[in-house]
């Protein structure tokens, strides 16, 4: 493995372990003593391998990496998969994954998750007594008003989930007496609407619905909550025909409303309207459906036994509101697809992967000429005539590990952002923050090149952080605070790594973070609550799409070519001037292509000829013989020789320099009493960025004698 990459991994691991150990000391080091000692030993191994050069240190480094993968990385992956399984109510699979994770990481945190899964399995079956007892005991012990309120809200949702409507409303009344002024989350508002409907308390129903309408309806999570509440209201007031149209077909699941929920609310609507037979047909759950949602099956059977319980007739204003819901819900139900797939994130990742395959197809993914052709951020060019590189460079990556790290981070934060921002706004954050990172990199470092989606990654972090800071009401405060701490930790970790290793572009990280944070703040504050605001937001998203398409169009158009610029310097009493590719850097009396590693790419040799020098062809042959004789000790071998005009030749050699094969091309010509030899040198890795341009450069060469 590349020593720089190994050092980077060790530094990344030791910082991660350091933060973990600090947190564990704060929470109680003795609680997980064996596991904590293992993490501390691994951190020590990483430090030792970093500070000790040589082969022995490499063995210790691999041991440290192996321990980290087993004790930290594998458990983290298993915990991630267990969360996915829990989201799909696959409790047994989640428990198995957590049990395996506990083998690798025998910690209190994993044991708590195992216990949490066990409680959720019981709650799914309707056995919520244990969770209720634990929450009640925790509420009694908690002296912090904010923490106590959060626990009480969790208990409220649990009571509504299990169908204990009266107790749910009684607890809410006690919380209101203790000073709770408003509903803090959309999901809590839906739970309270449900409890109030089942208790036939119309005043409370409409009060909680008004609280729900205060949230930003442009957020997909709030939109889904509103749809759920409006379907409940239509069912409770007997809008059976409208719900039949909206929820059709009842046997097909929906991302927000599964089959059991569809049938329950259709059954309630028909029951309230007086259609008992149709109501019973919907409310009689088959065994498979009853196993899927045992709580709703129990409530459906109770509803059939109880019969219709009409709500009091609403006033005219509320009846108009119900009619509006009845008109709009069918279309909205078809539009709402629950948690939307992260299309923008997926497209961006697919584009990164596709471009990486393109890089490897054209040559080595880290080859500078390949990166130049495909739009890398050559900093001297991006701000001077080739601005499309500021966009295309975010899709390029210098190696598989670079791609994997950026791809993983984008997937993590892009999904979170896209749930709330939607396709266009998320795409705009990607492109805008990545471009800001490229601009910051070009302004700060000036020379060299940069590639990668790091700016877009940090833009995601900035936008998600703004979302947690500004849109406070969408999440549980404890969870929200924990996520903010995690994001700050991630930012600090990457900044420390960036300042520790020269190959990491911290300017792109910081520029991308501020770009993403600004655009996230703008979208959240500006919002999309009116037609013209939605038009502005969509316009920004479409502008991002146009910027990407325009940039790649220009990249493809310039593929294999390079813009030429004039280079000049004084040498031996002459002013030399020629046109060279823009990425060749000028030194004192030569030009260096950064893609070549052997020696200066271009240099000039000249000699003033005596009056009796003879014909130009003889002068050129004499110079060439002397040049070959001097180059024999370096392995210079003549490959070909061709005329290059009436007074010159073009000669190509092969040679080996420091065990690296190379090529040399000489353009030798005689004019104005001078012999000029234009020398081009390259190695195999940079041939495409030198050989095709040599003819144009030599033809543009001019020399003018300067007065002494």
In terms of DSSP H, where are the helices of 309-394?
A: 316-335, 343-362, 368-373, 379-382, 389-392
Residues 6+ apart with CB under 8 A from 409: 457, 460
* Active-site position among 454, 590, 689, 698: 454
Helix (H, G, I), strand (E, B) or coil at 144: coil
Measure CA of the first residue to CA of the last residue in the chain; give whole Å. 56
Q: What number of other Cβ atoms are within 10 A of residue 201's Cβ?
A: 17
Distance CA 431, CA 424 (A): 11
**Among 491, 567, 583, residue whose Cα is nearest residue 15:** 491
CA distances from 292 to 124, 127, 286, 670 (A): 9, 15, 10, 91
Angle at CA of residue 374, ends 372 and 379, nearest 5°: 45
Distance CA 666, CA 651 (A): 5
Q: How far is CA 646 from the centre of its chain?
A: 60
**Among 108, 109, 162, residue whose Cα is nearest residue 135:** 162
In sequence order, the β-bridge partners of residue 606 are 676
Q: Which two tokens stand for residue 377?
A: 């951020």
Residues 6+ apart with CB under 8 A from 101: 74, 75, 78, 79, 82, 110
Task: State whether the Cα torsion 617-619-625-628 is positive or negative.
Answer: negative
Residue 509 annotated as catalytic: yes
Report the b/e string of 379-393 with b at 16+ CB within 10 A: bbbbbeebbbbbbbb
Residue 454 annotated as catalytic: yes
Contact 666, 682 (CB under 8 A): no
Looking up tokens 């549980």, which residue turns up? 476
Query: What percentage of the chain's residues is helix, strand, coil (to nearest 5)?
Result: 65, 10, 20
Distance CA 345, CA 353 (A): 12
Angle at CA of residue 217, ends 212 and 221, nearest 5°: 85
Distance CA 392, CA 405 (A): 18
Question: Quick one: 707 exposed, middle or buried, by C-beta within 10 A (0-12, 13-18, 19+)?
Answer: exposed
**DSSP readout, 53-67?**
-SHHHHHHHHHHHHH
**Among 266, 285, 383, residue whose Cα is nearest residue 333:** 266
Distance CA 322, CA 197 (A): 14
**DSSP readout, 186-200?**
HHHHHHHHHHHHHTT
* Active-site position among 282, 420, 509, 574: 509
Question: Quick one: 28 exposed, middle or buried, by C-beta within 10 A (0-12, 13-18, 19+)?
Answer: exposed
Q: Which two tokens stand for residue 104?
A: 């690798």
Residues 6+ apart with CB under 8 A from 590: 600, 601, 602, 603, 604
**Among 89, 87, 82, 84, residue whose Cα is nearest residue 294:** 89
**Among 126, 75, 533, 85, residue whose Cα is nearest residue 298:** 126
Active site residue ranges: 454, 509
């Amino acid at each position: 493995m590349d020593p720089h990459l190994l050092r980077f991994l060790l530094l990344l691991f030791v910082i991660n372990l350091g933060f973990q150990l600090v947190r564990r000391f704060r929470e109680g080091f003795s609680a997980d003593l064996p596991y904590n000692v293992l993490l501390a030993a691994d951190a020590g191994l990483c430090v030792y391998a970093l500070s000790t050069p040589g082969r022995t240190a490499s063995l210790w480094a691999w041991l440290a990496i192996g321990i980290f993968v087993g004790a930290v990385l594998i458990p983290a992956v298993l915990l991630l998969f267990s969360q996915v399984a829990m989201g799909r109510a696959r409790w047994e699979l989640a428990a198995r994954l957590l049990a395996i994770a506990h083998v690798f990481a025998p910690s209190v945190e994993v044991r708590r998750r195992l216990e949490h899964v066990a409680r959720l399995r019981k709650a799914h079956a309707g056995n919520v007594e244990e969770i209720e007892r634990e929450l009640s005991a925790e509420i009694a012990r908690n002296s912090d008003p904010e923490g106590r309120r959060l626990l009480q809200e969790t208990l409220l949702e649990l009571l509504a989930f299990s169908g204990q409507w009266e107790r749910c409303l009684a607890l809410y009344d006690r919380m209101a007496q203790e000073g709770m002024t408003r509903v803090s989350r959309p999901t809590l508002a839906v739970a309270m609407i449900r409890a109030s409907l089942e208790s036939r308390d119309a005043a409370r129903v409409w009060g909680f619905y008004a609280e729900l309408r205060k949230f930003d309806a442009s957020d997909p999570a709030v939109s889904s909550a509103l749809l759920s509440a409006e379907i409940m209201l239509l069912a409770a007031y007997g809008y059976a025909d409208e719900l039949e149209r909206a929820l059709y077909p009842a046997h097909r699941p929906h991302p927000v409303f599964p089959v059991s929920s569809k049938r329950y609310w259709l059954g309630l609507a028909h029951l309230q309207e007086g259609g008992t037979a149709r109501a019973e047909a919907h409310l009689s759950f088959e065994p498979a459906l009853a196993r899927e949602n045992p709580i709703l099956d129990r409530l459906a059977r109770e509803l059939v036994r109880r019969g219709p319980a009409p709500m009091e007739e609403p006033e005219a204003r509320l009846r108009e509101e119900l009619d509006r819901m009845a008109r709009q819900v069918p279309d909205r139900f078809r539009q709402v697809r629950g948690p939307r797939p992260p299309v923008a994130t997926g497209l961006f990742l697919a584009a990164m992967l596709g471009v990486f395959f393109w890089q490897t197809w054209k040559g080595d993914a880290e080859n500078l000429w390949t990166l130049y052709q495909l739009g890398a951020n050559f900093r001297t060019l991006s701000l001077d005539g080739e601005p499309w590189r500021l966009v295309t460079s975010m899709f390029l990556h210098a190696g598989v590990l670079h791609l994997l790290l950026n791809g993983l981070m984008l997937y993590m934060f892009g999904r979170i952002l896209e749930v709330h921002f939607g396709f266009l706004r998320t795409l705009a954050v990607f492109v805008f923050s990545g471009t800001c990172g490229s601009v910051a990199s070009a302004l700060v470092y000036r020379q060299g090149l940069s590639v990668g989606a790091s700016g877009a990654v940090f833009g995601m972090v900035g936008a998600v952080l703004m979302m947690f800071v500004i849109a406070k009401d969408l999440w549980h405060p404890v969870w929200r605070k924990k996520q903010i701490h995690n994001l700050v930790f991630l930012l600090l970790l990457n900044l420390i790594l960036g300042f520790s290793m020269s190959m990491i572009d911290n300017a792109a990280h910081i520029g991308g973070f501020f770009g993403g944070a600004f655009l996230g703040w703008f979208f959240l504050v500006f919002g999309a609550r009116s037609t013209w605001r939605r038009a502005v937001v969509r316009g920004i998203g479409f502008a991002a799409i146009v910027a990407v398409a325009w940039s790649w169009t220009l990249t493809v158009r310039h593929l294999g070519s390079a813009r030429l610029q004039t280079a000049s310097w004084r040498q031996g009493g002459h002013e030399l001037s020629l046109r060279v590719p823009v990425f060749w850097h000028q030194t004192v009396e030569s030009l260096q292509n950064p893609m070549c590693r052997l020696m200066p790419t271009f240099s000039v040799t000249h000699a003033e000829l005596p009056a009796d020098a003879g014909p130009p062809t003889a002068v050129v042959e004499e110079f060439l013989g002397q040049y070959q004789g001097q180059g024999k000790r370096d392995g210079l071998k003549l490959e070909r020789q061709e005329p290059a005009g009436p007074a010159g030749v073009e000669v190509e050699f092969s040679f080996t320099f420091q065990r690296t094969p190379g090529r040399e091309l000489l353009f030798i010509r005689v004019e104005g009493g001078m012999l000029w030899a234009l020398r081009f040198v390259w190695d195999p890795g940079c041939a495409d960025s030198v050989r095709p341009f040599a003819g144009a450069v030599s033809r543009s060469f001019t020399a003018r004698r300067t007065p002494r």
